[in-house]
A = this chain, B = another copy of it.
């Protein structure tokens, strides 16, 4: 039985989406056991009249909620009875719990995970790895996307190792094509950190390093993993998301400007809905925090039930594939570099 905690509050559609997503995941995976954290009375009300295997669903009462604008360090110190921190403490203390899923404050989740959960032996800095869809139907993982605003070349190499193992073990991508985000393709591009990382990655056989990538090629489908610092990774992910949404919004507005376009769009209704779904990052699962001892999956704040269910299944696959152990083994082979 795989035990996973669900932080049921702090998201835009909490706790309905979390409860609904949990029931979907329970239904689909018979060896899954879920523990919901949050206000017990509210959670019970959400479950009323629903059919599910109650032997595989627990509720742990945690009435407080961490808001998105709270200072992470204060939140994790002062709100020990919040749905997020309660889950994190249980994850740390109970050996048979494998993972937690949260759609709450990213800052509190990262800070909490770094303070309360241990790192995988040898890992210097845990890092986020969200997934984006590419235009040829494949997916690409971006690591780091915000946990570390400054990095060294050794950190970047570890991000590459962790993200490659993640894409291979959780998404079945063999020898993921791994690139370093840079301002040009040539080896000498970028600052000293990038140039040094380029050299290190060339000397890392377990990473299928294919060179530098310019950000305009992110969605081309030519890459499976992109490695970068958390600042530019954050810019990369949010710009992609923002541009796609803004462009689709503009097209919609323009359609309404002329009757002719409205007529045309009527014929293409299904296509436009599919494009929107295609660019909806929720559909590709959450962003995992690679490098911490136990599995932590961060879902988008606006996650619906399907998105929450996908996050749970992602955490499940991470545990089943024993990703943490594989990361520890591979990192150990390069530990002498990491001073």
Give A contacts to B, CB under 8 Å: 69, 107, 135, 146, 149-150, 181, 183-184, 186, 190-191, 194, 214-220, 230-232, 234-236, 238-251, 254-255, 258, 260-261, 263-268, 271, 274-275, 278-279
Judge whether A135 and B249 touch: CB under 8 Å.
Answer: yes
Q: Could you tell me the distance in whole angstroms from the C-beta of A130 to the nearest C-beta in chain B?
A: 13
* CB nearest to A146 among chain B residues: B183
A219 cross-chain contacts in B, Cβ below 8 A: 242-243, 246
Judge whether B246 and A247 touch: CB under 8 Å.
Answer: no
Q: Which 4 A-B pairs have the closest CB atoms?
A: A216-B242, A264-B267, A264-B268, A239-B239
With most chain B CB atoms within 10 A of its CB, the pick from A214, A243, A254, A267 is: A243
* CB nearest to A267 among chain B residues: B264
Judge whether A234 and B149 touch: CB under 8 Å.
Answer: no
Q: Could you tell me the distance in whole angstroms from the C-beta of A150 to the nearest C-beta in chain B?
A: 5
A279 cross-chain contacts in B, Cβ below 8 A: 247
* CB nearest to A278 among chain B residues: B250
Q: Could you tell me the distance in whole angstroms from the C-beta of A264 to the nearest C-beta in chain B?
A: 3
Judge whether A215 and B239 touch: CB under 8 Å.
Answer: yes
Q: Could you tell me the distance in whole angstroms from the C-beta of A119 to the nearest C-beta in chain B?
A: 21
Judge whether B240 and A268 touch: CB under 8 Å.
Answer: no
A244 cross-chain contacts in B, Cβ below 8 A: 243, 247
Query: How far, in whole Å, are A245 and B243 apart by their CA atoms in the complex?
Result: 10
A274 cross-chain contacts in B, Cβ below 8 A: 254
Query: How far, in whole Å, are A150 and B193 apart by their CA atoms in the complex?
Result: 10
> Given A190-B149, A254-B275, A267-B261 in contact, is the A215-B242 Cβ separation under 8 Å?
yes
Q: Could you tell me the distance in whole angstroms from the C-beta of A298 to the nearest C-beta in chain B?
A: 14
- Beyond A219-B246, A239-B243, A247-B248, 13 additional pairs, beta carbon < 8 A: A135-B247, A150-B191, A218-B239, A231-B232, A235-B239, A243-B243, A247-B275, A250-B275, A251-B271, A260-B267, A261-B267, A263-B264, A264-B271
